[in-house]
Amino acid sequence: MSPLPPQVLSPLDGRYRAAVTELGEYLSEAGLNRARVQVEVEWLITLTDRSLFGSTPLEAEQKAALRALVTDFGQAEIDELATLEATTRHDVKAVEYLVRRRLSALGLDHIAELTHFAATSEDINNLSYALTVREAVHQVWLPKFTALIEAIRVLALDYRADSMLARTHGQPATPTTMGKELAVFVYRLERVRAQVASNEFLGKFSGATGTFAAHVVAEPSADWPTISREFVEGLGLTWNPLTTQIESHDWQAELYSRMSHGNRILHNLATDIWTYISMGYFRQIPQAGATGSSTMPHKINPIRFENAEANLELSSAILDSLAATLVTSRLQRDLTDSTTQRNIGVGFGHSLLAIDNIVRGLGEIDLDRTLLASDLDSNWEILGEAIQTVIRAEVTAGRSSIEDPYALLKELTRGKRIGQDDLVAFVSALEIGDDAKSRLLELTPALYVGLADSLIDYLK
């Protein structure tokens, strides 16, 4: 058997590429290297703007030319960095050499030694990861996550008055509405969305052990902490003044934990929708040309929700691992974070793929209101809760002397199917006030939904 030509290992870069391709703009190796170039360029501008070490501020055209190294970063730079790294065996050093080459081409050799000045690789990397992750969150993941929330919200509003039998512990229980049940997920997901949206992105720029030692030796009179803070904040990040060689990654742990929590809520949604489909509450809308089973032509499988489950589990496994491991670095530095951070995009990708599946799946189902009504009408015994609660209120108000109403209804309904006629006869014989009896006689399982409809108004 002849070997295959080189193939991608991750399905995110193969079968599912179309659903996650936007993440590659930020969380790929190329995206990381572009951000590294950005950090190196902005550090050069920061130093020359302050006329440090005999330099003078660059002209506006020179700054624009330097910043164009970032905006014009493309395949030529990707290939050149690969060639440089083949020699340096060091990714950040390759970026430094690339920037130096571009300085020479721009006639800026006189500031070449300010490239990567007093910086450790982690000064460049921590800021680059913060920039790329921030953009991936705000430009890609959050918009997709928000769009999914809105899709669920639309269904919650559409189905707000559609009564259905609840199933606590999988057994018939006090009715609710499909809209209210979906609104629960909207509310839960909105909280996570807000937490992710407000997550800080921290950065440091303070040298090999976070002490500014090389900076101070080179220029003792400069206020290096202030320069560092203004530089980091100028990138739109939050400055971390107290670090080792690395920024401590706590912001990453917080972010990935919150995203993983969102994944798990979506996993709960996917399993609930799958279950409603299996019960017939949701009908699946046939998609033209689609095959449900290779041998059973009649089948429409809920594959969108099953695929979402699996991808949410994979995403959370990676994000949880990142959150757990990135917060530990031996003494002032070890490299355990280097390889793990290169998998950030994988964690994001599986989450994004799951979100895409759920959005598509929600657009391929329709509520079977006839079945919901039939299911309710077959379970009149669930009104036992309402009856015993009303009796207890009547006893308290002095309008009834019935002893132990709960036990009375338990004897009537537990483990039994009771029809409308049975309950009407039972209620008619109760010694309770006329108003209470009238309310119970008018009650049906479909009407026994409390404030389910109006509760949806608590959604923002």
CATH number of the domain at 398, please. Answer: 1.10.40.30
Query: Domain check: are 137 and 104 in the same one?
Result: no
Of 310, 313, 305, 196, whose CA–CA distance to 254 is shortest? 196
Residue 341 contacts residue 326 (beta carbons within 8 Å): yes
Q: Are residues 223 and 338 in the same domain?
A: yes
Q: Are residues 53 and 111 in the same domain?
A: yes
Q: How far apart are CA 269 and CA 160, in angstroms?
A: 17
Structural tokens at position 76: 């030529």
> Which of 346, 368, 390 is a domain's end point?
368
Is the same domain home to 55 and 181?
Answer: no
Q: Do 409 and 441 belong to one domain? A: yes
* Residue carrying the six token digits 């009908």: 283
By the 8 A CB rule, do 193 and 115 touch? no
Look at residue 11 and tell me if it is in a domain.
no
- Angle subtended at Cα 282 by Cα 280 and Cα 288, rounded to the nearest 5 degrees: 110
Q: Which of 121, 148, 178 is the last residue of a domain?
A: 121
8 A C-beta contact, residue 42 and residue 378? no
Could you tell me if residue 251 is inside a domain? yes
CATH code of the domain covering residue 52: 1.10.275.10
- 308 and 404 in a single domain? The answer is no
What is the C-alpha to C-alpha distance for residues 424 and 150, in angstroms, rounded to an integer?
Answer: 42
Whether residue 3 lies inside any domain: the answer is no
Domain boundary among 340, 368, 396: 368
Task: Say whether both 363 and 399 belong to one domain.
Answer: no
pLDDT digits (tens, 9 = 90+) for 147-186: 999 999 999 999 999 999 999 999 999 999 999 999 999 9
Rounded Cα–Cα distance for residues 441 and 428 (Å): 8
Rounded to whole angstroms, how far apart are CA atoms 142 and 255?
12
Q: Are 214 and 208 in contact (CB under 8 A)?
A: yes
In a domain, 13, yes or no: no
Note whether 163 and 114 are same-domain residues: no
- Quote the domain boundaries for residue 114: 22-121
Same domain (yes/no): 114, 168: no
Q: Is residue 5 assigned to a domain?
A: no
Query: Number of C-alpha atoms within 13 angstroms, CB side, residue 308?
Result: 28
In a domain, 318, yes or no: yes
Q: Which long-range contacts (CB under 8 A, 24 or more apart) does 110-114 make?
A: 110/55, 111/44, 111/47, 111/48, 111/55, 111/58, 114/43, 114/44, 114/47, 114/48, 114/52, 114/53, 114/55
Q: C-alpha distances in angstroms, 71 versus 27, 65, 74?
A: 16, 10, 9
Q: Domain for residue 428, yes or no?
A: yes
In degrees and rounded to multiples of 5, residue 192 shows phi and psi of -65, -40
Which CATH number is 145's domain given?
A: 1.20.200.10
Burial of 149 (0-12, 13-18, 19+ CB in 10 A): buried
Q: Which amino acid is at 18?
A: A
Same domain flag for 400 and 430: yes
Tens of pLDDT along the chain (460 residues) come to 888 888 888 999 999 999 999 999 999 999 999 999 999 999 999 999 999 999 999 999 999 999 999 999 999 999 999 999 999 999 999 999 999 999 999 999 999 999 999 999 999 999 999 999 999 999 999 999 999 999 999 999 999 999 999 999 999 999 999 999 999 999 999 999 999 999 999 999 999 999 999 999 999 999 999 999 999 999 999 999 999 999 999 999 999 999 999 999 999 999 999 999 999 999 998 776 666 655 655 657 889 999 999 999 999 999 999 999 999 999 999 989 899 999 999 999 999 999 999 999 999 999 999 999 999 999 999 999 999 999 999 999 999 999 998 888 888 888 888 899 999 998 999 999 999 999 999 999 999 999 999 999 999 7
Domain co-membership, 145 together with 273: yes
Q: Which pTM value belongs to this model?
A: 0.94
* DSSP count for the chain of H helices, then E strands: 21, 6
Domain identity same for 97 and 149 = no
Tell me the catalytic residues.
Answer: 169, 293
Give the span between the Cα atoms of 76 and 145, in whole angstroms.
34
The tens digit of pLDDT for each residue in 33-55 reads 999 999 999 999 999 999 999 99
Query: CA 6, 7, 11 angle in degrees (round to 5)?
Result: 170
**Number of domains the chain contains:** 3
